[in-house]
Amino acid sequence: MRAFLIVIGRDLQLAIKNGGATLTQLIFFISIGVIMPIAIGPDKQILADLAPAIIWIAALLSTLLGLDRLFVADHEDGTLLSLHHASISLTSISAAKIISHWLITALPLILATPLLAVMLFMELPQFLATITALLLGTPALAALGAIGAAISVTLKRGGMVAPILILPLAIPILIFGVSAANSFAGAQTSSSAMLFLGAISLLAVAFAPFAISLALKAAEE
Amino acid sequence: MTDCLKSQKISVSANNLGCFRDQFPIFNEISFSLSAGEALFLRGANGSGKTSLLLVLAGILPYSGKFEIKRFGENQQDIPANQLIHFIGHQNAIKPELTLKQNLQFWAQMYNGDQTSISQILEKARLFGLDNFLAGHLSAGQKHRLSLCRLLLSPRPLWLLDEPTSTLDSQGDTWVSDLISSHLANAGIIIAATHRTIELKDQKKTKSLTMGANK
């Protein structure tokens, strides 16, 4: 367990040292919120109606942006190779990587969501539903993204392959995420979409570490 | 550390090992056996499969044939094979953004090792006083020394070394041969790929295997 936390701690430490990457991603996320009103027009009602979908698309695209650096550095400098002989399994390390990936890429976006909510004229209940849906759904995005990143770790310019690989798999998350955020008025449908979103996240986070460690082992061959 | 290693006594044997990469045979019919306190030096031209053999022994590459690590010590039957091995390859597994100390602390925790002796280990590697220096600013030879420091973080019986002296100066050569000698004296086993001769105190305990001869 200690070694598990150490892996997360080191990833966070490295992310802070290379702060530019997280910042770029955050600015990308916010810029989508800025350009949408320009593209759609200043109609408050339309923007507010579309807001949950816009925020979800922005979150999806900007989490994909951070995928290329998830495993590539560790693969190139031999860290992954040496972790084969660590006292914790590659599967546990993969689980730790999902958590650190979520903390580095998804959490800053969720924290920046109020900014987008203001720009898109969201109402408070709608905003709260969106942020709950993001909290429930982004772990699945992080887990799927990590699988894509692990599969494409040996490819040159793999940064673009991982997003294309996982985009189709992310569609259910998008569907339930947007409907959970949209149906804040009718509590019934909202809660069932939320439950589905939570279930997808739990399943993805539970199974992804096995897929990731398998992909990383294959990458060393 | 010494006592700890003595209790982890092992012997290794390889029988008829072969390795393919992309259907291309890298090596075949490699057999050897080593008992506690013995070293095997792999020699051979570039591309003869020395690194691949080390990766096979480290459990990274798939192989044909039989490779076995026998454990003799008490209470160690349940230690997984991967935790009996230290592998130091060409890639040094160093994060340039972190300090020397932070780099070694991470590996100490990954290898279940001892963090308190990091300063002494750095001193032995002639990296003394650089604890809080960024690893990215080290020279190639110094990075290699830092990478070799991982061997000392936790006692493990089997060391797999790929070109341990390739970028080192003459003092570094002496340091590596001292490391190897003391590991062998503590009943450890070393398999190293090397072009340069490593002078050891006790030459009787070393074997050598020339790769690429039976291709």
A215: its two tokens: 């992909």
Exposure string of B165-201, with b = 16+ CB inside 10 Å and e = fewer, is bebbeeebbebbbebbbebbebbbbbbbbbeeebebe
Contacts A10 to B, Cβ<8 Å: 95, 98, 106
**CA distances in angstroms from A40 to A37, A119, B192, listed in the order given:** 5, 13, 65
pLDDT in tens, A55-102: 999 999 999 887 887 898 898 888 999 999 998 999 999 999 999 999
**CA nearest B22 in A: which residue?**
A221
DSSP type of residue B134? B
ipTM of the complex: 0.86
- Would you say residue A190 has pLDDT above 70? no
- The nearest CA of chain B is from the CA of A117 a distance in Å of 36
Min Cα–Cα distance to chain B from A6, Å: 7
Chain B residues with CB inside 8 Å of A84's CB?
Answer: 58-60, 82, 87
Instruction: Give chain B positions within 8 Å (CB) of A76.
Output: 91
Cross-chain residue pair B95–A77, CB shorter than 8 Å? yes
Return the pLDDT at A105: 92
**DSSP labels, B25-82:** EEEEEEEEEE-TT-EEEEE-STTSSHHHHHHHHTT-S--EEEEEEEE-STT-TTS-GG
Query: How far apart are the C-alpha atoms of B9 and A86, rounded to whole Å?
Result: 19
Q: Which pLDDT score is estimated for B1?
A: 46
Write the CB contacts of A169 (distance below 8 Å, at least 6 apart in sequence): A144
Alpha carbons A33 and A109: distance in angstroms, whole number: 12
pLDDT at A98: 95
Q: Please give the Cα distance from B93 to B190 (Å, whole number).
A: 20
- Per the CB < 8 Å rule, is A84 touching B59? yes
When mean pLDDT is compared over A16-20, A205-209, B39-43, B109-113, the highest value belongs to: A205-209
Sequence-ordered list of residues with C-beta below 8 angstroms from that of B206, at least 6 positions apart, any chain:
B38, B39, B40, B41, B200
Per the model's pLDDT, the better-predicted residue between A141 and B112 turns out to be A141
Question: What pLDDT shows up at residue B5?
Answer: 59
Instruction: Look at B87 and A220 and tell me if their CB atoms are within 8 Å.
Output: no
Residue B6 near residue B20, CB atoms below 8 Å = no
Q: How many CB atoms lie within 10 A of CB B152?
A: 23
Contact, B9 vs B156, CB < 8 A? no
Question: What is the distance in angstroms between the Cα of B88 and the nearest Cα belonging to chain A?
Answer: 8
The pLDDT of residue A125: 86
Q: Which residues of A touch B92 (CB under 8 A)?
A: 77-78
- Share the mean pLDDT of chain A: 89
Domains of chain B by range and CATH?
A: 2-210 (3.40.50.300)
Contacts across the A-B interface (CB distance below 8 Å): 70
Residues of A in contact with B85 (CB under 8 A): 85
Q: Does residue A44 sit in helix, strand or coil?
A: helix
Which residue from B60, B92, B106 is facing A84, i.e. has the nearest CB? B60
Q: In A, which residues are within 8 Å of B90 by CB distance?
A: 78
Using the beta-carbon criterion (under 8 Å), do B87 and A14 form an inter-chain contact?
no
Q: Which of B76, B78, B91 to mutate to test the interface with A (most CBs of A within 10 A)?
A: B91
Q: Which of B87, B109, B143, B148 to mutate to test the interface with A (most CBs of A within 10 A)?
A: B109
| Residue of chain B nearest A4, judged by CA positions | B110
Rounded CA separation A62/A67 (Å): 9
Residues ≥6 apart with Cβ < 8 Å to B10: B36, B69, B70, B71, B72, B73, B84, B157, B158, B189
Residues of B in contact with A17 (CB under 8 A): 97-98
Subunit contact A13:B94, Cβ cutoff 8 A? no
Taking residues A153-182, what's their average pLDDT?
A: 86
- The better pLDDT of the pair B125, A174 is held by A174
Q: Provide the pLDDT for residue B215.
A: 46
Model pLDDT, residue A154: 86
What residues in A contact B97, CB-CB < 8 Å? 14, 17-18
A188, pLDDT greater than 70: no
Q: A221 vs chain B: nearest CA distance in angstroms?
A: 5
Q: Which parts of chain B register pLDDT below 50?
A: 1-3, 215
- Note whether A218 and A152 are within 8 A (CB): no
pLDDT of res. A186:
55
Rounded Cα–Cα distance for residues B178 and B186 (Å): 12
Q: What is the pLDDT of residue B196?
A: 77
B87 forms beta bridges with B160
Q: CA-to-CA distance for A21 and A178, rounded, in angstroms? A: 27
Cβ atoms B144, B167 nearer than 8 A: yes
Which of A6, A17, A84 shows the shortest C-beta gap to B82? A84
Q: Give the residue carrying structure tokens 């040094």.
A: B92
Residue found by looking up tokens 């569609």 in the block: A171
Q: Do A88 and B92 touch (CB under 8 A)?
A: no
Structure tokens at A50: 């579309």
Q: How far A68 CA lies from chain B's nearest CA (Å)? A: 17
Q: Kindly give the pairing relationship between strand B158-162 and strand B189-193.
A: parallel
| Domain assignments of chain A as residue spans, ordered by start | 2-220
In contact, B5 and B185? CB cutoff 8 Å: no
Chain length of chain B:
215
Specify the pLDDT at position B2: 46
Confidence of residue A220 (pLDDT cuts 50, 70, 90): confident
CB-closest option in B58, B95, B107 to A84: B58
* Nearest-5° Cα angle at B152, B147 to B157: 110
